[in-house]
Amino acid sequence: MKFANYQQHNIAYECEGKGSPIVLLHGFCADSWMWADLKKDLLEEGHQVITIDLPGFGQSDVIPAVTIPQMAEAVQAVVQELKLSPFVLIGHSMGGYVSLAYHQQHDYNIKGLTLFHSHPYADTEETKEKRQKNIDFISRQGSALFVKQLIPQLFVEGFTRMNAYTVDRLIHRAARFQPEGIMQALNAMKNRADQSKTLENVNCPVLFLIGGKETIIPHEWSMKQTTLPAIAHVHTLDKTNHMGMFSAKSTSQKIIREFILFCQ
Ligand code: MLT
């Protein structure tokens, strides 16, 4: 693990391989580990793969009162440190929110964007209330119970039953993140701006990976967003809720490989 500096905070990243760069941003309550299989696949394909722990997760520092645009600036600190040439950016869920903010700030750096179980819309009032309740819960009880309840809900039930090791491993990792970092991310998501206009104006191809059994993002939103960019590749992953990199591993890898080829 290496570290870039963003406003005196350590941002952890890994960069492996040579070839055209692909940057992977994990979702909420996860870290770079979630990309292990995709990373291996992309390295075998001859790409340079950069995984970044977003602020408050993995080995990156917590940034007080962090915002989604600041998370994108933290990504830029890594991009600058590595002097990356234009890359394909892949963001899972919250990582997709950060990817859109990144595109808004540095569109010239992106030659392809993947929203993996993500979308450009701001929180509804109901979601904001739910986030605040979760923040209050974590500040009273810590985050262990919160992540134990959250993570299994990201999978379809059958997958959780058959893949207890993977789900437990994700819970175990998330339980080690600082509760403060989790609360900061909840707050950042709650306050984030709508990015529909950014998606409408993107100047690169966009790949949407949608869960056929998604329960975190309303299906209507997943579909509606696909009409926004000029060039959209849309794929629905059957039998998948919010974690297609695990539950539809080889299918999602193949789709991503083809998309990257298209973007070159
Ligand atoms: C994520 O997986 O990053 C979250 O589900 C995003 C969110 O809560 O909006």
pLDDT tens readout for residues 19-54:
999 999 999 999 999 999 999 999 999 999 999 999
Average of per-residue pLDDT across 13-18: 97
Quick one: pLDDT at residue 202? 97
Write the DSSP assignment of 136-197 as a string of letters.
HHHHHH-SHHHHHHHGGGGS-HHHHHHTHHHHHHHHHHHHTS-HHHHHHHHHHHHTPPP-HH
Which of 28, 68, 242 has the most ligand 1 atoms within 8 A of CB, as the residue to mutate?
Answer: 28
Strand order in the sheet with 9-16: 2-6, 9-16, 48-52, 21-25, 87-92, 110-116, 206-211, 232-237
Question: Do residues 6 and 60 make contact, with C-beta atoms less than 8 angstroms apart?
Answer: no
Q: Which residues line ligand 1 (CB under 6 A)?
A: 27-28, 93-94, 189, 216, 242
pLDDT tens for residues 219-238? 999 999 999 999 999 999 99
Quick one: pLDDT at residue 151? 97
Quick one: pLDDT at residue 219? 96
Question: Do residues 56 and 184 make contact, with C-beta atoms less than 8 angstroms apart?
Answer: yes
| CA 218 vs CA 124, 149, 191, 246: distances in Å | 11, 20, 19, 20
Please give the model's pTM, rounded to 2 decimal places.
Answer: 0.98
Q: Please tell me the distance between residue 189's alpha carbon and the centre of ligand 1 in angstroms.
A: 8
Q: How many residues does the chain have?
A: 264
pLDDT tens for residues 164-193? 999 999 999 999 999 999 999 999 999 999
Rounded to 5 degrees, φ, ψ at 88 are -90, 130
Q: Please tell me the distance between residue 81's alpha carbon and the centre of ligand 1 in angstroms.
A: 28
Helix, strand, coil % in the chain, rounded to nearest 5:
50, 20, 30
Rounded Cα distance, 114 and 26, in Å: 12
Could you tell me what percent of the chain has a pLDDT over 90? Answer: 100
Quick one: pLDDT at residue 117? 98
Q: Which two tokens stand for residue 89?
A: 């950016």
Question: Do residues 80 and 104 make contact, with C-beta atoms less than 8 angstroms apart?
Answer: no
Quick one: pLDDT at residue 81? 98
Q: What is the mean pLDDT of the chain?
A: 98
Contacts of residue 160, Cβ cutoff 8 Å, sequence gap at least 6: 152, 167
Average of per-residue pLDDT across 91-104: 98
pLDDT band, very low/low/confident/very high, at 129 (cuts 50, 70, 90): very high
Quick one: pLDDT at residue 51? 98
Q: Please tell me the distance between residue 60's alpha carbon and the centre of ligand 1 in angstroms.
A: 18
Average of per-residue pLDDT across 77-95: 98
As beta bridge partners, residue 46 has none
